[in-house]
Each structure stands twice: as structure tokens, then as C-alpha cells.
Amino acid sequence: MRLSLRARRADHAPCAELSPIPGPDAVRVAARHLEVGGSFCASLAVTGYPAEVHAGWLEPLLTYPGRLDVSLHITPIDPTTAATKLRRARARMESNRRSDYEHGRLLDPEAEAAAQDAADLAYRLARGEGKLFRVGLYLTVYAETEQSLEREVAAVRSLASSLLVATAPTTYRSLEGWSTCLPLGIDAIGATRTFDTAALAAAFPFTSPDLAPADPAETTPSTGILYGANPASSGLVLWDRWTQDNHNSVVLARSGSGKSYFTKCEVLRNLYQGVQVFVIDPEHEYTRLAHAVGGSVLSLGADGVRLNPFDLPLHTAAETGAGSNALFRRALFIHTFIPVLLARTLSAAERAALDKAILAAYAARGITSDPRSWARPAPVLADLVDALTDGSEVALELAGQLEPFTRGSWAGLFDGPTSTHPAGHLVVFSLRELPDELRTVGTLLVLDAIWRQVTSPEQRRRLVVVDEAWLLMRDPEGAKFLLRMAKAARKRWAGLAVTTQDIADLLASELGAAIVANSATQVLFCQAPQALEAVVRAFRLSEGEAALIASAGPGLGLLAAGSARVAFQVIASDFEHQLASTSPGELPEEEVDGYFADAAPTSTHLGPEPGEQPVDFTHPDDPEGDLL
């Protein structure tokens, strides 16, 4: 029914017609439901509440997939009135307790709990720590037909029961129940319960387990990438590492919880946005992904694949901004590289002899602090050993310790200049073919090669993924290098993504804790019971968050970024799943054989396999591929 209101002046002259008031054409009232505007609705009043609730406990009702109106009516109670009523209630409870005791009856546990709650509430009110409110909670369910309305009401009552919430239909008061749920601020039912401030705050209907937007008034689409689906709501978790204080991330999980699967999906989705990605792959897991997208794979340890730690930047001093310090920066890296290679800390005499030999090795190749000499062939590890043999007894002893890496069984990685310079939108450094003794130093060499790419004059977003970072973190010098990279990456528009399953050792060391502290994005998957306490303490997790990561299934994780905490279940398309999964039952037969063989293939793959079509990353608005 539509109403048109007219007003007349004192002289009975008509005034302007007011806007019509919107409303249903008709309302048909039945005992338990209404027929409003061609649809049916029924109202429920909440008559019982759980003893303890958590923040946002009404979220399952607010995110009900059907049409459901939730109305929360709040009326503050005057403190004097509240104190008086509470005092009377406590006196009545105490009288009942004494009567039961005098007559030898057993104490009622519910009455005892109510008495304790009333006493605690009275003390909080006396200290001014809270107030009392009369709260009414009502639900109105809508459906297209009367039969479907019965099913919807049953589903809503079942959902409420799972929350330990008791509901009752507003029989013979269906019209009052419907109007109570309208945005009129009128409680025509009056089925209220007394709440204190803490309980009312937990029932605040606008809380959400989803991430809050940076600006609630911002209507532009999110620029982040999809992490997964929120298991507590119907929303999606989108996160943009490039808008955070720094672009670093850390992923902590035990083996088999889905951290590599999540990392591969993140790598692929960053490629879609034009980010250049470098991956340090210790287990040959990213090769299939690299081949599919036309990336490059450098397999360290294979015949002819080398990275020379003595390489200098080929950019001019004006481009690099380093000037004459580039040579000395490279010398400092050699001071980091040699202790990692020897797996021990050098003495002061050894460091002095090493420094002298480094400069002598460069001088023998005609390389000085003049940037014009940097284009000359850089020395190799054998040149450093030769320079050490011309020195003192300490230098000779150090040269003898380096002999296996220049002419011995471990010389394959260092016996010549760099064979291939990493380039492309995705570069995977596979370390699987390296002996275990060279895994740590191989990771360090790869990080150094990547850092030279990151510090190049070309400005673009870059992501450096270090899978199984514990290989490098177990060496103090390697951990220091990784920490320096984490601190300096933001200034180069780069992000460092560290994933590891050796959680206890990472958090126990000062360098590991510093790397975590310098990561604005922190992702936690299922944790082993032995490491759970350290993780909870380091990330200050609540009891609910700790329970989540203690029992999470594969792919269920927790994004902890400052004050933002949200759970997510990793989701992937069929194409992404084929590239990310490492389950033997889902791998191609030839890859299963190669993955579990004692000796991996020794060829170096650059780009897709013969006959395999790479993914086309071109955009209709970017036919030249400038995004990549």
C-alpha cells in the first residue's frame, strides 16, 4: 500500500506533495508466518545463549547463505538500577543456596555458576569496568513459498543450535516479530537478556573474520593476489605484499602441510602481475612450473653449470651508484663465501691473508677499482688459491683447505667462469644435483647472483623465493647474508620469500628471529607439536589461532601480518594444481621416475621442453610483453 501525504496551510492552500512512503502492497498475517509482497517470512526470538562466547560469534548467522535478517536491540541500564537489581538477584541466589544446604539438598551446578557470574559482574560494575544492557536478538527468515519457508526456518534453527543458541518462533506475534527486525529501532517482542559490556562487544554484529580494507571508503578492486578462501566466511583472502611496510614474507610449516604448494601458486600469480621471480629450489620441485610458463632452469651441479663468486657488475659507476666500492664489496662477499665453503669461522690471521690474496687475484687479471676494468674476465677460485700459495704459512694452510674445491672432487661448481647468467621472468636455480656438502654454499652463490640482478639499474618488481631456507640458516655467515638481503630488498623494489620446515631452529637463533621480524607477511601452516609453543610465543597467537595451526589440514593456513589475522584454505585452478602438486599419484610417470631416482638428469633446461608450448603471458593491451 502506498500513502501520499498532503499538508495544507492555514488558508487551506495545498502545499507540495511529499515523497511516497515505500512499503509492501499487502501483509497477510498467519499464526507463525507472514506473506509480505509475494514472499513468506517467519520470525524467531533468541531465548537462550551459550555460557561463553568468542568475538564475532554471530558470524555464522550473519553469513547464512539464504535471506536472513538479524536484528540486535540494545538498551543501556542505568548503573544505579543495575546495581540494585544485581544485589537483589545475588541475595535471592544466596537464599536459595542456604535453603538447599539447610534441607540437605544437593547444590544445583547451574545455580552455583550463575551465583559466581553474578558476583564477578557485581565487582566489575563496582570498579567501573563495565555496564549492563538489555539485549534482544531476533531473526526473520524469508522464502518464496510456504513449504520452502519451513525448510529455511528449520535450517536456521539448526544453525543456531550448533552455536548453543535457543530460538523460539513468535507464534501469534508474527507481525510484531517482522516489524522488530525492520530498521525502525522498535522492539515489539521484548524477549531480552541482560548482557555486560564484554558479552555485548563479542556479539557486535559487524565483526568479520575477513581482512579489513586499508580504506573502508575505497571502492577500487584489490591489487593483491588470491591466497585462498576464508573457511570462517564466504569471502576470499586477497593479499598484496607490495603495499606493506616491506615486501618480505616468511612461510613456516612442517613437512606435508602445503607450504610448497602455496608458494608455487603465489609464484604463478605474481607472474600474472608482471613480477620477475627467482626461485632457489633444493628439491627440483619448480622445474615443471618453469617449463610450463617459459621460464629458465639452472641446475647447479650438472656438467658445465657454474657460478663464479668473483663476478663484478658490468654496469657503470653512474648506473650502479657504487662507484669505486664495487670491487671492495665483492671482496667482502668473498670473505663471507670462504667461511661458508669451509664450514667454519676464520681466524684473524686467516682473514688478513685472505683479504690480501683476494686483491692480488683481481690485480693479476688487471682489475682495479676503476669501473672501466670491470669488463675484463674475473678471477676464479683457482686464482685465489694461487695467490694464497705466495703468502705466509697461514695462507698456505688456507690454500690447502681450498684445494678440493679447485682441483679435487668438488671442483665442478668453481673450476671456471660463470656459464649462464640468469635472465627471464622466472628463473629457477635447482640445487638437487649438488652434494649435501655444497648445498649451503650453492644457496649462497645463487642468492648472490640473484642480488646482482636485483641491484641492476632496471626498475621492476622482483620476488626472491628461498625454499627450505634452513639449508642456509644453519651457517652463521649464510644467515647474516640472508638477513642483509631481507633488510635491503625493499629499497630495490624486491621481496624475499623464505619458506622452511625447520621452525624451532629458525626462531631459536637471533638471526632467524630477525628475518621473521623483517617480514611484513607471515604465513603459518600446520605446526609440529614440538615447535608449537615457540611459534605461539613468537607470533603472539591466541588460543584459537594456536588450535588452528596445531590441527590444520594440508593447505589450511593462517596469515599473520601485524594486526591482520585471517585463516585461509589454499585454492587453485586445475592448471595451477597440475603445476603445484608434488603428490606421486598426480605426477606424470616420467617425472615420478626422475623425481625419486637416485641420480637426477644432469642436463640444464632453458625454457620449455621440445614440443611443449609455454603459457602465453601477453596481455591484449600489452602485445609487446612489457609487463614481463
C-alpha cell recorded at residue 1: 500500500
Residue 132 has pLDDT above 80, yes or no: yes
Q: Mean pLDDT over residues 184-207, rounded?
A: 83
How does 115-133 read in b/e, with b if 16+ C-beta sit within 10 Å?
beebeebbebbeeeebbbb
pLDDT in tens, 430-469: 888 877 778 788 888 888 888 888 877 778 889 989 887 7
What's the pLDDT at 415? Answer: 72
Partners of 29 in beta bridges: 34
- Give dist(CA 591, CA 610) in Å, integer: 16
Q: Residue 451 phi/psi, 5° resolution? A: -65, -35
What's the pLDDT at 246? Answer: 86
Residue 596 has pLDDT above 50, yes or no: no
Q: Are 482 and 446 in contact (CB under 8 A)?
A: no
Domain 310-417 architecture? Orthogonal Bundle (1.10)
- Give dist(CA 405, CA 419) in Å, integer: 17
Domain 27-77+131-202 has CATH 3.30.70: yes
In the Cβ-directed half-sphere of 352, how many Cα atoms lie within 13 Å? 7
Q: Mean pLDDT over residues 372-401, rounded?
A: 84
Residue 543 has pLDDT above 70, yes or no: yes
Residue 615 has pLDDT above 60, yes or no: no
Domain 228-307+423-604 architecture? 3-Layer(aba) Sandwich (3.40)
Residue 407 has pLDDT above 70, yes or no: yes
- Give dist(CA 309, CA 465) in Å, integer: 20
pTM of the entire predicted model: 0.61
Residue 588 has pLDDT above 70, yes or no: no
- Give dist(CA 351, CA 339) in Å, integer: 10
User: Going by DSSP bridges, is the β-strand pair 521-524/556-561 parallel, antiparallel, or unpaired?
Assistant: antiparallel
What's the pLDDT at 628? Answer: 28
Of 21-30, 149-158, 294-303, 352-361, the range with the lowest mean pLDDT is 21-30
* Helices 109-126 + 79-102 axis angle, to 10: 150
- Other beta carbons within 10 angstroms of residue 423's beta carbon come to 10
Q: Mean pLDDT over residues 575-583, rounded?
A: 83
Q: Mean pLDDT over residues 151-168, rounded?
A: 92
What's the pLDDT at 302? Answer: 76
Q: Residue 496 phi/psi, 5° resolution? A: -110, 120
pLDDT in tens, 335-345: 888 888 888 88
Q: Hey, where are the domains in the chain? A: 27-77+131-202, 228-307+423-604, 310-417
What's the pLDDT at 116? Answer: 72
Question: What confidence tier does 604 reach under pLDDT thresholds 50, 70, 90?
Answer: very low
The dihedral formed by the CA atoms of 496, 497, 501 and 505, expressed in degrees to the nearest 10: 20
Same fold, 228-307+423-604 and 310-417: no
Q: How far is CA 540 from CA 393, 503, 514, in A?
A: 53, 15, 16
- Other beta carbons within 10 angstroms of residue 540's beta carbon come to 9
Q: How far is CA 327 from CA 310, 323, 457, 476, 562, in A?
A: 10, 9, 18, 24, 39
User: Going by DSSP bridges, is the β-strand pair 426-430/276-281 parallel, antiparallel, or unpaired?
Assistant: parallel
- Give dist(CA 105, CA 112) in Å, integer: 13
Residue 598 has pLDDT above 80, yes or no: no
